[in-house]
Amino acid sequence: MIRFGTDGWRAVIAEEFTLRNVRRVCSGIDRAFRVPGASPGLAVVGHDTRFLSRRFAESAAATLLAAGWRVQLCPAASPTPAASCQVAASGAAFAVVITASHNAAPFSGVKIKDSSGASAAPSITAAVEQEIPDEPGPLADLVEARRTGRLEDLSFAAAHRERLSRMADLAAIRSSGLRVVWDPMHGAAGRLLEELLAGGAAQVTTLHAEPDPLFGGVHPEPLERNLEELRSQVIARRAAAGLATDGDGDRIGAFDETGQFVSPLRLAPLLAWSLIRKGRSGPLAKTFANTILLDRIAQRYGLPFSTFPVGFKYIASEMQAGRLLLGGEESGGIGVEGFIPERDGTMVSLLLLQAMVDSGSTLSAMVGELTREFGETFYARRDLALPAEAGRQIVERLRAAPPAALGGLRITGADPLDGIKLLFGDEGWILFRASGTEPVLRVYSEAPTRESLDAVMSEAVRLAEAAQS
């Protein structure tokens, strides 16, 4: 049974992720997006740098063409946000992107973007699941489709860069003289930041720009443990910042000028505060595993605030309705009003550099000011390799019988919105959640001191392991 998770369907290449199953999924997408009585319109198809991604994208295009859709197919790997921008620019009904985002190299996947460029809502992916046939539909001849104009090979770069240029003063960043190290982790973002900021005093050094289906042997998720070379290059080059994006370019990781990792739980509140101090206003939102600092900023400025289950698609739906200034997820996906209702690691990188230029401050000084104003917190995440069902069982046991305390912090309440979150008053929390994209149990925590965080996480991991036995 093919099921869509937090953002898309993902599976191991050559096991469940096969040409036949991609065609089946695209047949389901065709059926879910068809309007009764109307001819199919335009669809966008993109892909990342993973093994056979181009071949899977061509198969997806051929399936949609055979079903009557016109297709714009990107001829090279491109970031997922570029496909979202292309949908919005072309008036397409949807996009199919062949990507497993931040998953490890053996995986591939399918993301669906709706006509606004946002991740398809749960109602749409549920409809796709219901419409997936046992056998795939026919394939169109791509050569013939090109000849008749129903298939267009089209780079998404222009649509993407036009949207990015709206979000930051590129001329000011170019003239700033900032030195930046950029790491796309062998993924789809490539040299994008370097190209956007070329021609001025700013200097961008790109690491790992070459597409590599194995991602250099590193998991393509911009977490601190996966970015040691970026850290060392920031220090060696005396750069103002080190910025990284994941395999398909929609998430961000960052280091300050001292080589200190700046987690996404600092970046989202930092950008929100920067926008507010520039005169912007509007509701803020976060996903369930994100920082309490966003809550505190919203409270300080009297802004509406919402918390959603894990998955940027929930934030995207609010952005589509024009109800958010900024929304962020704990994994580095951040969306901002004025772009598209979608996250983009390059866009967030530009906004971060813009904030540095505007303030005249170093990134470490900006983070220090943020924590002095809104409090210091410490965050960690552990991924415990477990079958999905085992992870769900552990969550249910903790939901039914939560402990009274963890790591010396008293548990004052529990929130079952997504997994089970145990609350330490207004000082922190710990969340146990079975992943929607990988066979792991994720354990996240935010606490007021490093010592309390370490104690909480150690005891939580032991608790999860005991619940499994």
Q: Which residue has the tokens 């802004």?
A: 303
CATH architecture, domain 378-468 = 2-Layer Sandwich (3.30)
Query: The pTM is what?
Result: 0.92
User: What does the pLDDT profile of the chain (469 residues) look like in tens digits?
Assistant: 899 987 899 999 999 999 999 999 999 999 999 998 899 999 999 999 999 999 999 999 999 999 999 999 999 999 999 999 999 999 999 999 999 999 999 999 999 999 999 999 889 999 999 999 999 999 999 999 999 999 999 999 999 999 999 999 999 999 999 999 999 999 999 999 999 999 999 999 999 999 999 999 999 999 999 999 999 999 999 999 999 999 999 999 999 999 999 988 999 999 999 999 999 999 999 999 999 999 999 999 999 999 999 888 889 888 888 889 999 998 888 999 999 999 999 999 999 999 999 999 999 999 999 999 999 999 998 988 888 788 888 899 889 989 999 999 999 999 999 999 999 998 999 999 988 667 889 999 999 999 999 999 999 888 877 766 6
Please give the pLDDT value at position 389: 83
168-374 shares its CATH topology with 378-468? no
Give the count of beta carbons closer than 10 Å to the beta carbon of residue 45: 29
Q: What percent of the chain has pLDDT over 70?
A: 99
> Considering only CA atoms, which of 257, 175, 254 is closest in space to residue 222?
254
* 446 vs 427: CA distance, rounded Å: 8
> Considering only CA atoms, which of 406, 398, 468, 466 is closest in space to residue 432?
398
Q: Which residue has the tokens 């991924």?
A: 383
- CA angle 73-75-81, nearest 5°? 70
- Report pLDDT digits (tens) over 428-443: 999 999 886 678 899 9
| Token couple for 367 | 């983070």
Domain at 168-374, CATH class: alpha beta
| Token couple for 204 | 């961008």
For the chain, how far is it from start to end, CA to CA, in angstroms? 28
Cβ atoms of 430 and 445 closer than 8 Å: yes
Cβ atoms of 395 and 419 closer than 8 Å: yes
Q: Please name the amino acid found at residue 70.
A: R
What is the residue extent of each domain of the chain? 9-156, 168-374, 378-468
Q: Sort strands 70-73 and 42-47 into parallel, antiparallel or unpaired.
A: parallel
Q: What is the CATH number of domain 9-156?
A: 3.40.120.10
* 174 vs 193: CA distance, rounded Å: 11
- For residue 101, the SS3 value is coil
